[in-house]
Amino acid sequence: MTERYFRSKKHRFIFALLKLDGRKRAQALGITLDMYYDSDKAYQWYSEIADEIDPKTCDINGAKEAMERLEYFYARMTQKESK
């Protein structure tokens, strides 16, 4: 998904979080497998997107729902297997 189709990074992130699924969403958001094993990489990824779409500072429609989904995906990335 190229930047030229969106007004801003914020718009691109919100679209990807709300409208895409599976591999297309992962690709659009830059999710990689190693983020599930490296919490620092996962946090860096989360922070970059959260800074853009935080509904406290982003007035684009869907920002709140997109942030909720971002938090869900980040929680799944960083959850540890219970033994």
Q: With a cut of 90, say whether residue 60 has pLDDT above it.
A: yes
Structure token pair of residue 1: 């998904």
pTM of the model: 0.86
Q: What is the mean pLDDT of residues 44-62?
A: 96
Q: With a cut of 60, say whether residue 42 has pLDDT above it.
A: yes
- CA atoms within 13 Å, Cβ hemisphere of 45: 23
